[in-house]
Chains A and B, each alone.
Chain A
Amino acid sequence: MNNSRRSFIKKSTAAVAACTILPREVFGRMGGSNNFIAPSDQLTHGIIGVGGIGRSDSHFYSDSSCRLVAMCDVDSEHLKSAFNAAKEQFGQTTRTYSDWRELVHDPNVDVVHIATPPHWHGIMACEAARAGKDIWCEKPMTRTIGEGKRVLEAVKRNGRVFRLNTWFRFKDTFYGLGTTVKPLKKLVDSGLLGWPLTVRISGATGFAWKFYWVGKENLAPQPVPECLDYDMWLGPAPYKPYNVHRTHQTFRGYWDYDGGGLADMGQHYIDPVQYILGRDDTFPVKVEIDAPQQHPDAVGTWRSITYTYDDGCKIILEGEGYESEGKVPYIEGPLGKVYKGFECTIPNVMNLINELPDPKIEETDFIRAVGSRHQFSLDESKGFHSSTVVNMGVCALRLGRNLEFDPVRQMFVNDDAANLLIDQPMRGDWANYIK
């Protein structure tokens, strides 16, 4: 594996010596008075990972706001098929890479989309920030709490714009709740429900934990398909013999790459709750689990995970098959409850919350954020905070015990093993990419 960071940087800086002086977003790309945008002024993006979501509209698009110019995958079949699809859909030829670092350092790329499995997100985002790229990163933001901290720092210090790809805090019906998040936020801000609040994320309130993302134990080694660079797929993850179930999509069932249904759906579900509770800049102080012992490699299931904040607010996750029975509130406070479909125990609630101002306006258009350099609504900081909540649960499950967390030091309290999960060892030279 020749992935030495130093040798790579040497190679790539030579290639990009004639680099742009200012980022191109500085040059009135946002349209100006005439609508013509010279290709050299147009924003461009490249995608790392063109498997599942990398081929969806979130990433795989090319239009006048942002042109797709490059993509990368370690599965040559995925890359080939995406290349052909881009040709067919957008009528253009894109550069293809099998080493993501080349895409990240390609001077023609302004924005890097990261759509690989989670064990890569932190490394790729840090390197992209250092290369001066803006970043659109898939959820979960990172696989460990430590990687999240580094991404936050790298993005901030390099003056980059970052967007995490979940969106329910600002758009779309919030799963089975049958409502957007906005009225929930207004209701909570109004104080009508009282305080502290308990939020229940469960099948009973309209959320599925996708427990089918469990791993398999006793995996037998299989030959690595010719099209896959398995070493580069694993990257920082410990080497384990190839089995198809470890890789594309089903990687969700293994701790080395992801964290089952909790990590797969957790940030979608929990990020809006951090926002609703006004907790975007902090974390719970405690995570309690009710779960069978987890296998050290293959992710299993759980019955419940309860997070508690310093003021007594709680988020309760109920596992599939262990949902509360009867009519279950999504948010419950001392003065009232809200159920699916915004059914509320407070009479005339809609009128009451309409009297209140709307929540503060945030930038929800990524391309515009790149132009204005304003924080995107779900930026690196909020993304880090909500992915940390998810990762706290992952750590507790893996160790099979309840954990306390110090939100200021961003470490577990009095638990060395849990703190060892904050920054985990990386194979080869990859840790150097995220220092």
Chain B
Amino acid sequence: MRKISYIFISLALLFCFEGLLAQDCTDSVLFNAGKLKPAGEGANSKYEYAISGAVNLATTPGKEALRGKVKSQLEQAIEAASDKDVRQFLESQLYFMGVPAEPAAGPSEKELLASAKKLARSRNSNERCRSIWLYSDVYGKENATRVLAAMNDKDKAYRMTALHSYEKYADDQFYAALTALFPKLDTDAKADILYFLGEQVADSQIEAIIGEFDGANAADAMAAAAKIGGEKALAALVSHLGGTNDCDAYLALSSFNGDVRGAVEDALKTESAAAKPSLLKLAGERHCTSSFVDVVEALHSQNEATALAAANALKGVSIPEDAVHVANLLQSLKDENLIAPVSDALVGCYAGTDGKSASTRILSFVKDVPESVKERFYPVLASTNSDLAADYLLTAFKSGHSDAALKALSTIDNFKAAPALLEAASKDDSHLVRYVELISRFVKDDSAKAGEYATALKSAVSAKVKSRIIGAMTSVPTIETVNRLETLLDDPEVAYNAANALKSVVKEVAGELPYAKIKECFDKVVKVYQGTGNADDLYAIDEMKTFLSGLKK
């Protein structure tokens, strides 16, 4: 930041200086040009600013009157310049006094056709592509026959280019001519046409496209129908859910050009069992809240895939008023696989409620559920982030429910969870990540924070966890942090992160450190950075050198 403001201040001063000059800067181009020296022999910069300032002013619309004066001075200065770099600079400024060239007349139609013909005979794919474009330049909309004929070509690049060249002329008649080719074309060429029809949103051809839903081009046809949209496409896609191309139909409906909710809601009531999983997925994703009852019913299906899809969809179709219903479901589930998604749906039901009242309501419900299923409600309790929930989970942690409670305590945004996480970290250091997050968020005093990070670092084993802690340490720029980070530079697994952190912390506490110490730290950081070859790191090396040169030894 210091560096940036320095740049701004110096440029701002210069700008004022330019401003003063600007009034008659257009008179002093020759004078300033005379001051320019061969590169490296002097400080040309201020004269370069002045000259280019004059050029910018004289080329500003409305300042035409200044142009002749500046131009002639530049010409004289160029004439007088003996150094080639100086001359080159002046010429680069004179360039701006010119007028943009009018585009040259293109080749005649005859010439274009001659080139097109020649290129069409080429053995190179891209030259043949150029030929079709040239024909397009000449014939425009009349080039349809050639484009249609290209669909029989073996070269995919050529076919696609032919279609591309006709984009701006294509109309319903052309689209119909394309689909009329289907019976004679192979799968590959049909795929190109279907892609083109989709991109062009050729709705006149939707029937022909739907006609391909059951063949080898099903995926291409369904993707095209999704881009085109409309009632017919929607109904056809929905009716293909559960069939051989269920997955393609589902994908097409996910990005369907239009609202699919009504169709999905209706189909959930009527479609075959095979279509259910994809329909349920769509219902969840698109928040078909009026399908709540159908989704709950599907959750009780004997078919495992359907039941799981329903459980996953539940969150999307539930609203806050469904909370008790979902809580009852959660309590009564037999299939272990469904617990997590239904618990997630319950979290969604309480997402908009204030933490204290949500946890009060959940706890009053939990009070009456059998001991064996109480753990299922830990995630929703944790999601309230309330003290009430934290206390409940801590008690559970200490009394026979430690794993489930710990999992919930790792997600709760409440500082009360911190000691439990630290305790758990002695067995699994990944808990330190959440611990450190809580410290960063809730501990306000810097030295207390630094102490907590140090404690965490002692328990950290893996490089990933150590790196997270190192990242957090930069928020406490103290000499103690500098010393700690320095020791981490020797650990190759975390050296890079430690170097980044050390660089930033040293800069912040530079006022309290002797020059020798800063230099020692930066030298170590440079050693680490030099191995990376990354542009930003190499810049950072420069930046550190500049920083050091600005300090008193």
Contact = CB atoms under 8 A, between A and B. Distances in A.
B40 interface: yes
A321 B8 contact: yes
B14 A292 contact: yes
Interface string B518-553: 000000000000000111101100010000000000
B154 interface: yes
Contact of A159 (B125, B260, B285): B125
Contact of B125 (A132, A293, A348, A419): A132
A227 B286 CA distance: 59
Interface stretch (A36-44, A167-175, A218-226): A218-226
Contacts of A361: 223, 226, 251, 255
B5 A159 contact: no
A159 B154 contact: no
Contacts of B376: none
Interface in B216-271: 223, 226-227, 251, 254-261
Given A211-B4, A300-B11, A348 B92 contact: no
A400 B543 CA distance: 28
Given A321-B1, A399-B56, A357 B89 contact: no
B95 A239 contact: no
Contact of B56 (A130, A300, A355, A401): A401
B447 interface: no
B334 interface: no
Contact of A158 (B39, B126, B155, B534): B126
A19 B129 contact: no
B124 A373 contact: no
A420 B40 CA distance: 29
A23 interface: yes
Contacts of A26: 125, 154-157
B12 to A, nearest CB: 6
A76 to B, nearest CB: 16
B72 to A, nearest CB: 17
Given A321-B4, A355-B286, A238 B61 contact: no
B475 interface: no
Nearest to B227: A360
A299 B14 CA distance: 15
Contacts of B18: 293
A422 interface: yes
B161 interface: yes
A249 interface: yes
B100 interface: yes
B60 A401 contact: yes
A415 to B, nearest CB: 6
A361 B158 CA distance: 24
A240 to B, nearest CB: 7
B130 interface: yes
Nearest to B123: A21
Nearest to A222: B40
A293 B11 contact: yes
Contacts, number: 194
Contacts of A416: 59, 98-100
Contacts of B12: 292
A425 interface: yes
A160 B382 CA distance: 54
Interface string A172-215: 00000000000000000000000000000000000000111110
B75 interface: no
Interface residues of A, number: 70
Nearest to A355: B287
**Most B Cβ at <10 Å: residue of A239, A292, A420, A425:** A292
Interface string A149-160: 000000011111
Given A300-B11, A321-B1, A159 B99 contact: no
Chain B binding surface SS class:
helix
A22 interface: yes
B100 A422 contact: yes
A219 B39 contact: yes
A293 B53 contact: yes
Contact of B43 (A55, A130, A218, A373): A218
A250 interface: yes
Nearest to B539: A212
B535 A22 contact: no
Given A297-B48, A348-B352, A23 B125 contact: yes
A217 B251 CA distance: 55
Interface in A398-432: 399-401, 414-417, 419-420, 422-423, 425
B39 A296 contact: no
B31 interface: no
A240 B5 contact: no
A375 B538 CA distance: 36
A308 B99 CA distance: 26
Contacts of B1: 321
A104 to B, nearest CB: 12
A357 B535 contact: no
Nearest to B538: A249
Contact of B53 (A25, A212, A358, A400): A400
B103 to A, nearest CB: 10
Contacts of A240: 39, 85, 88
A159 B535 contact: no
A209 to B, nearest CB: 10
**Most A Cβ at <10 Å: residue of B45, B55, B352:** B45
B126 A160 contact: yes
Contacts of B160: 159, 373-374
Contacts of B15: 292-293
A241 interface: yes
B254 A249 contact: no
B203 to A, nearest CB: 15
B533 A218 contact: no
Interface string B37-74: 00110111100110111011001110000000000000
Interface string B77-92: 0000000010011001
B316 interface: yes
A130 B60 CA distance: 39
**Most B Cβ at <10 Å: residue of A19, A159, A358, A373:** A159
B195 interface: yes
Contact of A52 (B96, B158, B535): B535
Contact of A296 (B60, B89, B99): B89
Given A21-B124, A218-B45, 19 more contacts: A19-B124, A23-B157, A26-B156, A130-B126, A156-B161, A159-B130, A213-B539, A240-B88, A293-B14, A293-B18, A296-B92, A321-B5, A355-B261, A372-B191, A372-B195, A373-B156, A375-B199, A401-B60, A416-B100
Closest 5 CB pairs of A and B: A159-B129, A220-B40, A159-B161, A417-B59, A132-B126
18 contacts: A19-B124, A22-B154, A22-B155, A26-B154, A156-B164, A212-B539, A218-B44, A221-B39, A292-B8, A301-B11, A320-B4, A354-B287, A361-B251, A372-B191, A415-B61, A416-B59, A417-B59, A425-B95
